[in-house]
Amino acid sequence: MPIGGQAVIEGVLIADGERAILAVRGHDGRVVVEPLPFPKFPRLERTPFLRGPIKLYQLLSLGLRALERSAEIAYPEEKSTGWDFVLAVGLALVLLVGGFIALPFFLATRVGLENQILLNLLEGGIRLAFFILYIWGISFLPDVRRVFQYHGAEHKAVHAYEAGAPELSVALRQSPIHARCGTNFIFLFVAVAVLVFSLIPAHTFWLRLLARVGLIPVVASLTYELLMLGARTPWLRPFLWPGLLFQKLTTREPTPDQVEVALAAVRQVASARNSSATE
């Protein structure tokens, strides 16, 4: 089973479908490594076209928990309340639904195109442009740049693990780009959404908007299957290239100490897998 993860505040989260390990460099310079509860749905996770939404839920659930915990470890002096976290999640959801779903749809419909395929292509293009501008804009923030460095460190550590040598000297030579990155998921999601939304028969603005929101699990499911298929099928890999190119925005070359943090999480996951295999 492949491993993957995501960057968090001053660290990374690594998961393998059975367990999740968080590694964060604390304010005192030590690397704190600890497990996080992993939401499991054994049967659904193995069912094609159902596992996509499940994986998306696991990613979001783990990601939010990891971000909150990493902030507590990295900046223990900055206390936050539960309401602060709820507010941050709420604002993120508003940005997702409003900025990346409703607003591109609204702008596309103002053009007056009657052809549904052209309308959806325009909508998808607007959505992708918004996302690229958003990522490009926040990349200038110092704290976000460090997260992008840890994103690169996570990819290097995973590459080293897949090469059978999760060591610093090996990881530093690896690429900060990885085919299974969530960035590829976003690009494929936009392309699949154009095709799926073109099949919607609704003609009124609000019905089409509700259909777009309601079909997100369907689009996520199809996107996940295509991403997994593309990762192991050579002739499909060109479809992943746009996402691989976009990773140059969402990753930065990490420092050796950042790669060490990522490797700490990878090694812990590998150790837990080996222990389970021998039991």
Domain ranges of the chain: 4-278
Q: What is the mean pLDDT of residues 78-107?
A: 65
For 84-121, b/e burial (b = at least 16 CB within 10 A) is eeeeeeeeeeeeeeeebbeebbeebeeeeeeebeebbb
Lowest mean pLDDT among 25-34, 181-190, 219-228, 260-269: 181-190
Query: Which phi and psi (to 5°) does residue 252 adopt?
Result: -135, 155
Strands 31-36 and 11-15: unpaired
pLDDT at 21 over 90: yes
This prediction's pTM: 0.82
Q: Output the average pLDDT for the chain.
A: 82
Q: Say how far apart CA 41 and CA 33 lie, in whole Å.
A: 25
Asked if the model's pLDDT at residue 278 lies above 70, the reply is no
| pLDDT at position 92 | 63
Q: Note the pLDDT of residue 90.
A: 62
pLDDT (mean) for 234-240: 71
Cβ burial of 181 (10 Å; 0-12, 13-18, 19+) is: buried
